[in-house]
Amino acid sequence: MSKYYLNYLEELESEAIFVLREVAAQFRNPVILFSGGKDSIVVTHLARKAFYPAKFPFALMHVDTGHNFPETMEYRDQLIQDLGANLIVGSVQEAIDKGRVVEEKGRNASRNVLQITALLDTIESNQIDCAIGGGRRDEEKARAKERFFSHRDDFGQWDPKNQRPELWNLFNGKHFQGEHFRVFPISNWTEMDVWNYILKENIAIPSLYFAHEREVIWRNNSWIPVSEHLNMDERDSPVTKKIRFRTLGDITITGGIESEADTLEKIVEEVAAMRQTERGNRADDKRSESSMEDRKREGYF
């Protein structure tokens, strides 16, 4: 007798596909927020599956801080070419040049917060009414409260205490001119689910996720890659380590972990044994207990 139930990874996939199809049906000009990180790669993969044999009806949008890993950019450009998809770039450098935002100063300076302005400007100028993200509720406590369909007012702001109730699978994406939605198809996935899925589907990911030799410095409890964008002084002593990254963000704030995991199987094994959350290596989340919530209210991913 065949089994008439899905295992949890199949159920999560089906749920995400359902959400992506709802986006296509309910919005006029939706995009996928693509960072080159594993979560947005999985969302893009799911979009391919959701609309097969047609192409998915979304452009990819990349908020480019200018502080990228070259590997991420290569991956992005190759993927765009393979999919024949449209790419929209929101540039933080451009926002700085235009005087829309001011660059942070100092040793721990980052362009993380500056992304908000570039993101919202690009959403507005392209008249985007829905931005699909790879955010997961298990990532962070403010994200645990996030809806699948998350409303943003005409300032791009999130009001966590006044969110629309979301019952069953009835998603309400109705909005007024100038407002938009953020939609998170993989809300219910954990880091482990993402890795198991990448392994099961054999999805190509940037080489940065695999263990490799790299010049790094030890800062804020993780190995930060040496790059032209990193502010270093005499306190920093670069060393070469075999590391890999658990998450990918700006090259200046994404810390690596020492690892020997150079295959997907080994990564899955390693993640299963991890005793630290993946965002533990992200300097952007460590600024205060509510730094993610504050950024999200302003319009962050």
Partner 1 sequence: MSIENNQLLRISTAGSVDDGKSTLIGRLLYDSKSIFEDQLEAIETTTKRKGREGIDLALFTDGLRDEREQGITIDVAYRYFTTPKRKFIIADTPGHIQYTRNMVTGASTANVAIILVDARNGVIEQTRRHSYIASLLQIPHVIVCVNKMDLVDWKEDRFLDIQQQYEGILSKMSIKDVRYIPISALEGDNVVNRSENMSWYQGAPLLHTLETLHISSDLNKIDARFPVQTIIRPQTDEFHDYRGYAGRLESGILRKGDEVVALPSGFNSRIKSIDTFDGTLEEAFAPMSITITLEDDIDISRGDMIVRKNNQPNQVQEFDAMICWLNSSAARPRGKYTIRHTTNEQKSMIRDVVYKMDINSLERNSEDTEIKTNDICRIKLKTTKPLMIDEYRDNRATGSFILIDDGTNETVAAGMIIS
Question: Smallest distance from the beta carbon of 4 to partner 1, in angstroms?
Answer: 5
The single residue listed with the structure tokens 């008249």 is 127
Give 5 or 102: the residue with its C-beta nearer to partner 1.
5
Decide if residue 237 touches partner 1 (CB under 8 A): no
Q: How far apart are CA 8 and CA 173, in angstroms?
A: 26
Residue of 39, 193, 250, 284 interacting with partner 1 (CB under 8 A) = 193
Give 99 or 176: the residue with its C-beta nearer to partner 1.
176
Q: How far apart are CA 13 and CA 265, in angstroms?
A: 20
Binding flags for partner 1, 7-26, as an x/- string (CB under 8 A): xxxxxxxxx-xx--xx-xx-
Q: Taking contact as CB under 8 A, which single stretch among the options 32-40, 105-113, 190-198, 255-263 is the one that binds partner 1?
A: 190-198
Q: Taking contact as CB under 8 A, which single stretch among the options 4-12, 127-135, 238-246, 258-266 is the one that binds partner 1?
A: 4-12
Give 239 or 274: the residue with its C-beta nearer to partner 1.
274
Decide if residue 234 touches partner 1 (CB under 8 A): no
Give 107 or 141: the residue with its C-beta nearer to partner 1.
141
Question: Smallest distance from the beta carbon of 167 to partner 1, in angstroms?
Answer: 4
Give 4 or 213: the residue with its C-beta nearer to partner 1.
4
Report 120-159 residues binding partner 1 (CB under 8 A). 137-138, 141-142, 144-145
Question: Smallest distance from the beta carbon of 73 to partner 1, in angstroms?
Answer: 27
How many residues belong to the site for partner 1 (CB under 8 A)? Answer: 62
Give 11 or 97: the residue with its C-beta nearer to partner 1.
11
**SS3 per residue for the chain:** CCCCCCCHHHHHHHHHHHHHHHHHHHCCCEEEECCCCHHHHHHHHHHHHHHCCCCCCCEEEEEECCCCCHHHHHHHHHHHHHHCCCEEEEEHHHHHHCCCCCCCCCCCCCCCCCHHHHHHHHHHHCCCCEEECCCCCCCCCCHHHCCCEEEECCCCCCCHHHCCCCECCECCCCCCCCCEEEECCCCCCCHHHHHHHHHHHCCCCCHHHCCEEEEEEEECCEEEECCCCCCCCCCCCCEEEEEEECCCCCCCCECEEECCCCCHHHHHHHHHHCCCCHHHHEHHHHCCCCHHHHHHHHCCC
Decide if residue 272 touches partner 1 (CB under 8 A): yes
Q: How far apart are CA 76 and CA 86, in angstroms?
A: 11
Q: Are 156 and 11 in contact (CB under 8 A)?
A: no
Question: Smallest distance from the beta carbon of 154 to partner 1, in angstroms?
Answer: 13
Question: Smallest distance from the beta carbon of 7 to partner 1, in angstroms?
Answer: 5
Q: Could you list the residues that contact partner 1 (CB under 8 A)?
A: 3-15, 17-18, 21-22, 24-25, 48-55, 137-138, 141-142, 144-145, 160-161, 163-170, 172, 174-176, 187-188, 190, 192-193, 196, 272, 274-277, 280, 289-290, 293
